[in-house]
Structures are given as C-alpha cells and as structure tokens.
Amino acid sequence: MPVAGRASVSGGVPARAYVAMAAVYEHMFDLQRGPNLPGMLERLAVMARSAIAPLVRQAEVADAAAIATSHVRSWQAGYANVISSEFLRSLGMGLPLRTLHWQTLILGAEAQGEFMLVGEVDGEVAGWLSGGAYRDAGSDESPLGEVYACYVDPTHWRQGVGSALMADALERLTRAGYPQAVLWVLADNLRARAFYEHLGWLADGARKMYEVGGERHPEVRYRRRLS
C-alpha cells in the first residue's frame, strides 16, 4: 500500500521539494533587500520543513513516549482557550504514566480490531491517530468506522501531517468494509472543526457532553462517506 502523504519522487527527491527550493532561492534575494532578517529566516525554515512529505506508519511500542508528549503538547496548544489552563498545565506532570498507558494501547490495538498510526517528519514522530469500529455500543445504526483521535504536535502544524494521517486512516476503514466513518470533536475547538470540514467531514447533528478537568464540554459528531 502506498504510504499516505508521500509525494511523487524524481531521483529520490520529493516533487514538492523542488517547489520549496525554488521559493527558498526567491527569498534569498529578499534577504538581501529586506530589513526583517529573523522573519525571513523563519519563513525559510517553514518552507524547508514543508518540503518533506510526512511518512505514515503503524505505531510501535517504542513510539509511546513521543505519542504521550505530542498528545500533551497538542492539548496545551489546541485547547488553550477551551479547557481550564490549570488542567492543561497539569498534563505534563504525568508523562511517565501516560507513556505506560500508550504502550498498553499500542500493544492491544490490533487484538481489538483497532489501529494506531504515527506520522513522521525527518524521522521524528510529529503526530498520531487512532481508529477502528464505532464505540457507541448503544447505536442502532449500521456498522460505522470511527476516528477516535487525531493530534499533531504544534511544532508540525500546517505541514500536512494531519491530512496524511487521516488519508491513511480512511483507507484502512474503507478496506475494513465500513460504508461511513464518524468522529467526535469539542464544539468549541474551531481549529479542529475547520480542519475536518476542509477534508470533507460534515457535522451530522449528534451531540454529547464530554467531561474533562472537572468541566463539561459539548461535543459534536462529524461524519463522512467512505464508499
């Protein structure tokens, strides 16, 4: 199976890399003319990172610490104006236990008919996704696939990691025979909702409450056809 998010290559170099390199050369001239050198250098760094297509693969036990760390960092950045700041600060204090938790989930995923994926950039875990069968035992709908969670480390936002993870997950759910897939997202997480809508997910009207950090937050369900 082709790896999701991989660009076509010529001579071993991703096609999108040539576009980014051309942009780098263009901005080299701006560096000579413009006064904002730090800003220009940051733009060049972003271009260089975006030239590398994310590699999506199945998660391994050795990835648990990186998944735990990126999970905490993505919550702290993505939910900064949604969930209690005190709760978000406390997340980083339990990384060893979180790592053990993820090791257990990774080991048990396949046996439960679930999957866990990681997205790598330059050999570094930049994000992760988990999915499988729809977990609402009380549902009387036809079998649905579900994306349980999809998180990308803030240092790798807008680099195609989330899109590559989602493409691989949808392919797996389609091969498993699910006609549709769903996911749940906090109603106030506007960044995530915009991302899902950009990828073709639509809110289907279902809602529920999610309790975290002693607070209750509404969640909305998104749905997408697979076949």
CA distance 76 to 79: 6
- Entry pTM: 0.76
Q: What is the pLDDT at residue 15?
A: 42
Distance CA 195, CA 119 (A): 17
User: Dihedral through CA 197, CA 201, CA 202, CA 208, nearest 10?
Assistant: -100
Q: What pLDDT shows up at residue 31?
A: 47
User: What pLDDT score was predicted for residue 16?
Assistant: 46
Give the pLDDT score at 5.
36
| Rounded distance between C-alpha atoms, residue 207 and residue 205, angstroms | 6
pLDDT score for 89: 87
Domain ranges of the chain: 1-52, 54-225
DSSP the chain: -PPTTPPPEETTEEHHHHHHHHHHHHHHHHHHH-S-HHHHHHHHHHHHHHTSPPEEEE--GGGHHHHHHHHHHHHHHHTTTTS-HHHHHHGGGGHHHHHHHHHHHHHHHGGGT-EEEEEEETTEEEEEEEEEE---TT--SSP-EEEEEEEE-GGGTTSSHHHHHHHHHHHHHHHTT-SEEEEEEETT-HHHHHHHHHTT-EEEEEEEEEEETTEEEEEEEEEEE--
pLDDT tens, per residue, the chain with 227 residues: 333 333 333 344 444 444 444 444 444 445 455 555 666 555 555 545 555 689 999 999 999 999 999 999 999 998 998 898 888 888 888 888 999 999 999 999 988 889 999 999 999 999 999 999 998 866 666 789 999 999 999 999 999 999 999 999 999 999 999 999 999 999 999 999 999 999 999 999 999 999 988 889 999 999 999 97
Q: Which residue type does 212 have? A: V
What was the pLDDT predicted at 138? Answer: 66
Tell the residue number behind the tokens 């648990």, with chain if given: 64
AA identity, residue 156: H
| CA distance linking residue 22 with residue 36, whole number of Å | 20
Phi, psi of 205 (to 5 degrees): 95, -15
Determine the Cα angle at 98 with ends 160 and 192, to 5°: 30
CATH 3.90.226.10 fits 54-225, yes or no: no
